Amino acid sequence: MSVLLIAEHNNKEVKPFTLNAITAASQIDQDVHVLVIGNKADDVSKSISQVPNVKKVIHIDNEIYENYLPENFTPVILKQAENYSHIVCSANTFGKNLMPRVAALLDTSQVSDIIKVISVDTFLRPIYAGNAFATVKSTDQKKCITIRPTSFDPAATSGGSAEITKGDVGEATSLTKFIKREEVKSDRPELGTARIVISGGRGMGSGENFKLITQIADKLNAAIGASRAAVDAGYITNDHQVGQTGKVVVPDLYIAVGISGAIQHLAGMKESKVIVAINKDGEAPIFSVADYGLEADLFEALPKFLEELNKLNTIQK
């Protein structure tokens, strides 16, 4: 029995959630091999080989893998899959897009978005936007699993020295063409891994008003989140969305501003360690999950909040 983990990377660096997925993979079985498919991605393989939990790295390199297309990745994963009992990757847009394509061709019923490894075939996963937890047992011989990254700690990144072997390149797809990716560049911490997240909702009233959030995020070195309503209203781009169909975040501190707390939003943030809600509607459902609730007009509370933060001698980074 051994586990094949599909790495997510940008051909230069490993994406952080791959490290969380490695932790989960090693809880399934100690024999974790990582598959790196990319273009001139030697640095990626090298850095993964230094992860102590990784026993072997399989590197497949070709210019057709410059941009990640599941139609290109799937055939080479299937070829490698013969030797493994479990195929795993993270349950973000990378893994969600890729894994079912692999699972279907292995005739395996995939287990999506697990938050706990109970045994080699039994896992815990949230259903109904996290309003229920299901314990499920896969009876398929080969198991395809995606992992909720925020439910597992990232693996250590140094101390290991796994062997790196080359794998066979597959055929390039003619079905799909990559055109472009518009990444929102930011100096802020990534939403998925930030220690502090401050999010705005429809109550912000406009994109312009999000600067009140930005100022506090700067002060706290926080990532900026948003409810679906705020994204739908065009106040902020989709990569900020927290919730059932957006990102799931588990920061030490989550500050929800002008967010009423729909079930779908709570699904993305209610596991945060400390939750603050600022809302002028005292009955808003967000208060039911908040450790500290402040019933106030956000346009008065946020400037005041910044002022109080400025008075502090030290702020944790």
Partner 1 sequence: MKILVAVKRVIDYNVQVRVKEDGTGVVTDNVKMSTNPPDDNAVEEAVKIKESGKAKEIVAVTVGEDKAQETVRKALAVGADRGIHVKVDGTVEPLAVSKILQKIVDKEKPDLIFMGKQAIDDDCNQTGQMLAALLNWPQATFASKIEVKEKSLEVIREVDEGLETIEVNIPAIVTCDLRLNEPRYASLPNIMKAKKKPVEQINASDLGVDTKQRIEQIKVEEPPKRKAGIKVASVEELVQKLKNEAKVI
Q: CA-to-CA distance for 39 and 55, rounded, in angstroms?
A: 22
Contact stretch for partner 1 (CB under 8 A) within 35-43, 57-65, 153-161, 171-179 = 171-179
CA dihedral 23, 25, 29, 31 (to 10 degrees): -90
Residue 112: CB minimum distance to partner 1, A: 5
Structure tokens, 179: 């055109």
Tokens of 236: 């902020």
Could you say whether residue 264 binds partner 1 (CB under 8 A)? yes
For the packed helices 211-220 and 298-311, what is the interaxial angle rounded to 10 degrees?
A: 20
- Would you call 196 helix, strand, or coil by DSSP? strand
Annotate each residue in 2-41 with x if it binds partner 1 (CB under 8 A) or - if it does not, as one string: ----------------------------------------
Shortest Å, Cβ 196 to partner 1: 7
Nearer CB in complex with partner 1: 57/224: 224
Q: What gap in Å lies between CA 116 and CA 33, rounded to an integer?
A: 20
For residue 134, state whether it binds partner 1 (rule: CB under 8 A).
Answer: yes
Q: Which of 150, 111, 139, 117 shows the shortest CA–CA distance to 25? A: 117
Cβ at position 39, least distance to partner 1 in Å: 17
Distance CA 191, CA 197 (A): 7
53 binds partner 1, rule: CB under 8 A: no
Query: Judged by CB under 8 A, does residue 137 bind partner 1?
Result: yes
Would you say 1 or 315 has its CB closer to partner 1?
Answer: 315
- Please check whether residue 61 is in contact with residue 39, taking contact to mean a CB–CB distance below 8 angstroms: yes
Identity of the residue, 159 or 282, whose beta carbon is nearer to partner 1 in the bound complex: 282
- Chain positions 70 to 109 lying near partner 1, rule: CB under 8 A, are 70-71, 74, 92-94, 96-105, 107-109
Kind of pairing between the strands at 253-257 and 196-200: parallel
Asked whether the beta carbons of 28 and 3 are under 8 A apart, the reply is yes
Of the candidates 110, 144, 145, 150, which has an alpha carbon nearest to the alpha carbon of residue 130? Answer: 150
Confirm if 40 and 127 have CB atoms less than 8 A apart.
no
**Shortest spacing between CB 228 and partner 1, in angstroms:** 7
Residues of this chain, 201-260, that bind partner 1 according to CB under 8 A = 220, 228, 231-232, 237-239, 244-245, 247, 252-253
Ranges within 265-294 binding partner 1 (CB under 8 A):
270, 273-276, 282, 287, 289-294
Q: Please give the backbone phi and psi of residue 113, each rounded to the nearest 5 degrees, phi first.
A: 60, 50
Minimum distance between the CB of residue 236 and partner 1, rounded to whole angstroms? 12
The owner of tokens 């990640």 is: 68
Supply the minimum distance, in Å, between the C-beta of residue 56 and partner 1: 26
Nearer to partner 1, 1 or 104 (CB): 104
- Which token pair is 227? 């409810």
Q: What's the closest the beta carbon of residue 165 comes to partner 1, in angstroms? A: 27
Identify which of residues 65 and 287 has a Cβ nearer to partner 1 in the complex: 287
- Pick from 50, 85, 122, 193 the residue near partner 1 by CB under 8 A: 122
